[in-house]
Amino acid sequence: MLLMVIMRWMFRAQRQVEYRVKTSMNKLYSYQGSFEVLPAGTGRWTLLGILTVLAALAPYPAFATVYRVGPDQVLKTPSQAARIVQTGDTIEIEPKPGGYYDCAVWNANNLTIEGIGQGVRLTDSTCQGKAIFVTVGHNITIRNLTFARAVVPDWNGAGIRAEGRDLRIEDSRFIDNQSGILVADSPGSTVTIQNSQFIDNGFCGPRSCADSIEVGRIAELKISHSLITGTPGGDAIHSLATLTQLVSNRIEDGETGAANYLVDLPFGGSLIMHENTLVRGSRSRQPGIAVRIMQGVGAPKVNQLVFTGNTLQSDSEHPATFILNWTGTRAQLSGNHLGAGDVPLSRSGYLWFLTKSSIHYVIAEAKDFARPVRAHLHTIVNSILGKFGLHYR
């Protein structure tokens, strides 16, 4: 098998690698590269050299390509690039006057998608009824892009919908979307957000509210040096991650925001917050409460709750509560800065919440137990009635 791989590689090494994209104007663009094969008579060293190169390149995709998207490029839109990229490729997107009214589904792994220069904007278009970008592949980095006005009938149109593992977002902006980022359940995945802005995301529909950043059941969510402001409906950050880390962010309602909570962990998980600034506005749906952590019966374990060097401000006339802790884990607070009369930590309502959670858990377990029993009884009854030509629905 190894010999076949080596022979195939030698054969390919004697050819030029050529990639052609044909435009609608029948222009031909190509990328060419070549490999040098050692002269005859040096077979032993050629084989050794090939084995060395193969070993060095083993972890990396072959012939990773950089694609340029732009008004004057062969690839005019990100969606055109998404249809041809392979594992390990880089997609560079140039600015376009008025922005790209385009969406894309990224299926390949290990991609880097970045805007070149200032003002690369994708707006007003969603794919699969989900988002402007849908990332299906794993280990994708998105950098220096603006996502705006994502709208879908389900009221959760996102700038980015992450369905694969391990997403990294850097220096990007999410403006006026129903949901800024929506991350699907993906155990073991890590989502990292750095130096980004989320402005006026998280709208309410007839039945529920979307969030500015909503993360499902993943291993870790890390947000640093970012701004989340103006959430009109849901939570600014809504996380079901096993571990959520927030470092040096500004999370605020702003003048128009009316978020439920600035940070909400409604189903367990650990939380570490360091040197964040949180500002509650007068229009918030849960007046005065900045951070909520809940651990109902059956929720994942909360290993740690650590809050250091954070600042809480309130634009309301009423005192604010920094943390509402409805878990069985003790919160560790150190060096946080609160206004006069503000409450650093509250457990008010925890026993009532725990009682309701226990009741709901028992009911859910009973339904799960009863469902197969009912199906089995239904089968038995119909087998008996069938002998008489009858059937019970």
Q: What pLDDT is stored for residue 29 in this prediction?
A: 36
- Region 223-233: mean pLDDT is 97
Q: For residue 369, is pLDDT > 80? A: no
- Region 198-225: mean pLDDT is 96
- Region 215-241: mean pLDDT is 97
Per-state percent for the chain, helix, strand, coil, to nearest 5:
20, 35, 45
Q: Which fold has domain 68-348?
A: Pectate Lyase C-like (2.160.20)
The domain spans of the chain are 1-38, 68-348
Region of poorest pLDDT, from 25-39, 162-176, 252-266, 278-292: 25-39
- Band (pLDDT 50/70/90 cuts) for residue 362 is low
Q: What is the pLDDT of residues 318-356, one digit of tens each?
A: 889 999 999 999 999 999 999 999 999 999 988 787 776
Q: For residue 226, is pLDDT > 80? A: yes
193, with CB counted inside 10 A (0-12, 13-18, 19+), is: buried
More confident residue, 283 or 370: 283
The whole-angstrom separation of Cα 190 and Cα 187 is 9
Q: How far is CA 185 from the centre of its chain?
A: 9
283, with CB counted inside 10 A (0-12, 13-18, 19+), is: middle
Q: For residue 123, is pLDDT > 80? A: yes
Residue that the structure tokens 């089968």 belong to: 379
Pairing of strands 146-148, 186-194: unpaired
Q: What pLDDT is stored for residue 354 in this prediction?
A: 77
Average pLDDT over the chain, rounded to an integer: 84
Q: What is the pLDDT of residues 167-188, one digit of tens each?
A: 999 999 999 999 999 999 999 9
Q: What pLDDT is stored for residue 331 in this prediction?
A: 98
Identify whether the C-beta of residue 155 lies closer than 8 Å to the C-beta of residue 177.
Answer: no
